[in-house]
Structure 1
Amino acid sequence: MLVLACVVVALVIAVMIRRWWAMSRAPKPARQEAPTAGAGVPAPGAEVVLGAPNATDVAGADAAWSEARRLRAALLDQEVPPTISAWEIVPEAGEVFFYDLKAVHERFYGQDAGYQPTGSFLLGSPAFILAGLVVTGAVNASRQRAAQALAATQWRDREGIRVLVTNHRLLCLVRGQWLSFHYGAMTAVYPEVAERTLVCGFESIPPLRLSGIDAPILAVMTLFMTHGADALAQHPALRPLD
Structure 2
Amino acid sequence: MSDPKAEVPDACSDTSALLALLVLVAAAYVVATAITGLCVGVAEGRRRRGVGHRRWFAVAVVGVAAPWALATYVAGYGTGRLLKPPAIDTSWADGRDAARRTLEFLALGGQPGPVSTPGFLIEEPVHLDAQLHYARHYSTTVTYQQTSALAFGSAAFVTGALLANAVGNSSVRSRAERLARPQWREHQLTRVVLTPTRTWCHSSGRWLSFDHAAVMEYHLDAHGVVLLFADSEPLRLTGPAAWLHAVLFAYFRFGAPALTTATFLMPVRAGHSGSQAVTGDR
8 Å contact kept, 1:170–1:182? yes
The 1:164–1:53 alpha-carbon spacing in structure 2 relative to 1, beyond 3 Å, is farther
The 1:240–1:185 alpha-carbon spacing in structure 2 relative to 1, beyond 3 Å, is closer
Larger radius of gyration between Structure 1 and Structure 2: 2
Correspondence for 1:176 among 205, 210, 215: 205
Matches within 5 A, 1:160-239: 160-192=189-221, 195-239=222-266
Counterpart of 1:73, as a letter, is E
Correspondence for 1:90 among 121, 136, 145: 121
Distance 2:263 2:217 in 1: 15
Number of equivalenced pairs: 185
Counterpart of 1:154, as a letter, is Q
The 1:111–1:198 alpha-carbon spacing in structure 2 relative to 1, beyond 3 Å, is same
Alignment-derived partner of residue 34 in structure 1: none
Counterpart of 1:99, as a letter, is L
Distance 1:78 1:175 in 2: 38
- SS of alignment partner, residue 193 of structure 2: strand
Alignment-derived partner of residue 81 in structure 1: 112
Distance 1:110 1:66 in 2: 36
- The structure richer in helix per residue is 2
Distance 1:184 1:237 in 2: 17
Matches within 5 A, 1:43-192: 54-55=87-88, 57-58=89-90, 60-92=91-123, 95-192=124-221
Counterpart of 1:240, as a letter, is P
8 Å contact kept, 1:191–1:223? no
Counterpart of 1:90, as a letter, is L
Indicate the structure whose relative CO is greater, using CA pairs within 8 Å and at least 6 residues apart: 1
1:240 equivalent to 2:271? Answer no
8 Å contact kept, 2:197–2:253? no
Distance 2:98 2:86 in 1: 20
Distance 2:86 2:240 in 1: 11
- TM-score, length of structure 2 as denominator length: 0.60
Q: Which runs of 5+ in 2 are unaligned?
A: 1-84, 270-282
Q: Which runs of 5+ in 1 are unaligned?
A: 1-51
Counterpart of 1:198, as a letter, is V
- SS of alignment partner, residue 219 of structure 1: helix
The 1:53–1:238 alpha-carbon spacing in structure 2 relative to 1, beyond 3 Å, is farther
- SS of alignment partner, residue 257 of structure 2: helix
Distance 1:176 1:129 in 2: 53
8 Å contact kept, 1:189–1:223? no
Shift of 1:53: 8.0
Runs of 4 or more consecutive aligned structure 1 residues displaced over 4 Å after TM superposition? none
8 Å contact kept, 2:214–2:230? yes
Counterpart of 1:199, as a letter, is V
Deviates more, 1:126-135 or 1:165-174: 126-135
CA RMSD of aligned residues (A): 2.0
Shift of 1:240: 3.2
Shift of 1:120: 1.3
8 Å contact kept, 1:196–1:214? no
8 Å contact kept, 2:92–2:240? yes
- TM-score, length of structure 1 as denominator length: 0.70
Shift of 1:229: 2.9
Counterpart of 2:114, as a letter, is T
